[in-house]
């Protein structure tokens, strides 16, 4: 008989994130190969988990076409050398793709149907720009279900500024600058590198290289420099390249397991899943999506926002993060939030990002036995939000 089980985040790894486009390090690398590298790296780091014990592989991509198509979970599992007995599938919830891979696999583990699963995501935004091959139904606009601007994420970010005038451009600029500084400080302290899988790359001249770190960081960013940037989404707007996540290529992977498998295989999980939730909002202001999803996840967990000791929030745009912080009464520069920087500095390969948040939270949990609960949350295109609350297995009840 299957039994209800706890769900554990055993481990997670990712590729370094590259700048999208011809000048980016992954321009000549296939999207599915980024997934394969992540699976191989993660399985090699967890030799206690035999490949034939993986019950399923869920891989998310927003643009499921070309080298991001063909039932990614199954094709990547085969390419990564997992036994042919391991099934897999693809998933899409735009930016929350990998997060949904995790929660979908968590549901199967929690119900006792699966023991071990892989869940992750990939986005090669250089090869597959968001919406490039999409054909939105004309009814969306014709019947005024959705404003045409809702399909442009930068326009939706400008609209959050409109709705909350006290969330000024200067606040967003400062947030963007701090993200860059925190990410570089984390790199200098060697916090990010242990969870990166190195990837062989080839440039346009055919020379081979090795991707070992995130390519898009700009630690030299200053407030004066940010103030001078153009506002591409609106004349005299407030959203700039410095307060937006760059277009990015990369893949992420997590290893999940139930309580019985953790015991049987002698695993040491990095986090325990407490609750998760997704919510819908108007697509025109999709950036506020994580506010209702976080409220739902907190309610499911029987927790309050004050119980959360660490936050990993996806920085699609600075305004999106500070609107959530403002809603919950948290300062823009609260030390619990995105300690090691976020997507503004590291990049946001759409469907891959959710698991990057989890990888960073897991690493921070190990350093912080005084923290019991952490939150990973993100906004999602077409007006959604996703939130997952995690418990720290290292928690010792002692205040820092």
For residue 297, give the CATH number of its domain: 3.40.47.10
Q: How many CA atoms lie within 13 A of 212 on its CB side?
A: 4
Q: Which two tokens stand for residue 357?
A: 């948040």
Cα–Cα distance measured from residue 290 to residue 388, given in angstroms and rounded to the nearest whole number: 10
In a domain, 103, yes or no: no
What are 271's strand-pairing partners?
Answer: 9
The separation between the first and the last C-alpha atoms of the chain, rounded to the nearest angstrom, is 43
Distances (CA, A) of 51 to 43, 87, 270: 8, 11, 20
- Count: domains in the chain: 1
- Rounded mean pLDDT for each run of 10 residues along the chain, 400 residues in total: 94 98 96 98 98 98 94 98 98 97 98 98 95 86 85 91 96 98 98 98 94 96 96 95 97 98 98 98 95 98 98 98 98 98 98 98 98 98 96 90
Cα–Cα distance measured from residue 143 to residue 147, given in angstroms and rounded to the nearest whole number: 10
Distances (CA, A) of 7 to 109, 111, 114, 197: 6, 10, 10, 24
The pLDDT assigned to 134 comes to 84
Q: How many CB atoms lie within 10 A of CB 359?
A: 25
| Catalytic pick among 161, 236, 379, 394 | 379
The pLDDT assigned to 150 comes to 82
The pLDDT assigned to 23 comes to 94
Q: How many CB atoms lie within 10 A of CB 261?
A: 21
In a domain, 46, yes or no: no
**Phi, psi (5° rounding) for residue 84?**
-60, -15
In a domain, 382, yes or no: yes
Torsion region of 250: left, alpha or beta (phi above 0 gives left; psi -120 to 50 gives alpha): left
| Cβ-Cβ contacts under 8 Å for 280 (sequence gap 6 or more) | 289, 383, 384
In a domain, 368, yes or no: yes
| Catalytic pick among 124, 128, 161, 348 | 348
| Catalytic pick among 95, 124, 128, 161 | 95
In a domain, 383, yes or no: yes
The pLDDT assigned to 362 comes to 98
Range of the structural domain that residue 343 is part of: 146-191+273-390
What are 317's strand-pairing partners?
Answer: 244
The pLDDT assigned to 398 comes to 82
Cα–Cα distance measured from residue 279 to residue 289, given in angstroms and rounded to the nearest whole number: 7
Catalytic residue check, 348: yes
In a domain, 63, yes or no: no
- Print the SS3 string covering the chain: CCCCCCEEEEEEEECCCEECCCCCCCCCCCHHHHHHHHHHHHHHHCCCCCHHHCCEEEEECCCCCHHHCCCHHHHHHHHCCCCCCCCEEEECECECHHHHHHHHHHHHHHCCCCCEEEEEEEEECCCCCCCCCCCCCCHHHHCCCCCHHHHCHHHHHHHHHHHCCCCCHHHHHHHHHHHHHHHHHHHHCCCCHHHECCEEEECCCCCEEEECCCCCCCCCCCHHHHHCCCCCCCCCCCCCHHHECCCEEEEEEEEEEEHHHHHHHCCCCCEEEEEEEEEECCHHHHHHCHHHHHHHHHHHHCCCHHHEEEEEECCCEHHHHHHHHHHCCCCCCCCCECCCCCHHHHCCCHHHHHHHHHHHHHHHHHHCCCCCEEEEEEEECCCEEEEEEEECCCCCCCCC
Catalytic residue check, 124: no
pTM of the model: 0.97
In a domain, 186, yes or no: yes
In a domain, 320, yes or no: yes
The pLDDT assigned to 140 comes to 86
């Amino acid at each position: 008989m299957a039994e209800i089980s706890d769900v554990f985040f055993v481990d997670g790894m990712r590729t370094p994130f590259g700048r999208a486009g011809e000048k980016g390090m992954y321009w000549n690398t296939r999207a599915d190969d980024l997934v394969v590298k992540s699976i191989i790296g993660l399985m090699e780091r967890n030799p206690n988990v035999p490949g034939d014990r993986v019950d399923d592989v869920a891989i998310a991509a927003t643009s499921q076409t070309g080298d991001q198509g063909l039932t990614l979970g199954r094709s990547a599992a085969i390419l990564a050398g997992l036994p042919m007995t391991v099934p897999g599938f693809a998933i899409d919830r735009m930016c929350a793709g990998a997060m949904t891979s995790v929660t979908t696999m968590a549901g199967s583990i929690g119900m006792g149907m699966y023991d071990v699963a892989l869940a992750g995501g990939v986005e090669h935004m250089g090869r597959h720009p968001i919406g490039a091959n999409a054909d939105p139904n004309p009814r969306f606009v014709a019947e005024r279900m959705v404003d045409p601007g809702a399909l442009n994420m930068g326009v939706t970010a400008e609209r959050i500024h409109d709705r909350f005038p006290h969330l000024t451009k200067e606040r967003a600029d400062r947030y963007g600058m701090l993200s860059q500084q925190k990410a570089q400080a984390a790199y200098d302290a060697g916090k990010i590198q242990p969870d990166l899988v190195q990837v062989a790359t080839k440039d346009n001249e055919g020379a081979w290289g090795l991707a070992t770190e995130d390519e898009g960081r700009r630690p030299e960013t200053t407030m004066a420099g940010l103030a001078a940037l153009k506002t591409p989404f609106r004349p005299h707007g407030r959203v700039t390249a410095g307060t937006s996540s760059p277009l990015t290529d990369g893949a992420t992977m997590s290893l999940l397991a139930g309580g019985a498998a953790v015991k049987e295989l002698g695993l040491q999980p990095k986090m325990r899943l407490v609750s998760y939730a997704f919510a819908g909002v108007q697509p025109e202001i999709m950036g506020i999506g994580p506010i209702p999803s976080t409220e739902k996840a907190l309610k499911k967990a029987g927790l309050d926002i004050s119980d959360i000791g660490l936050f990993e929030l996806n920085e699609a745009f600075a305004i999106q993060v500070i609107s959530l912080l403002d809603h919950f009464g948290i300062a823009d520069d609260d030390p619990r939030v995105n300690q090691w920087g976020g997507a503004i500095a590291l990049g946001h390969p759409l469907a891959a990002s959710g698991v990057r948040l989890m990888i960073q939270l897991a690493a921070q949990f190990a350093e912080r036995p005084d923290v019991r609960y952490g939150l990973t949350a993100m906004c999602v295109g077409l007006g959604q939000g996703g939130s997952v609350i995690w418990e720290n297995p290292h928690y010792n009840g002692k205040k820092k």
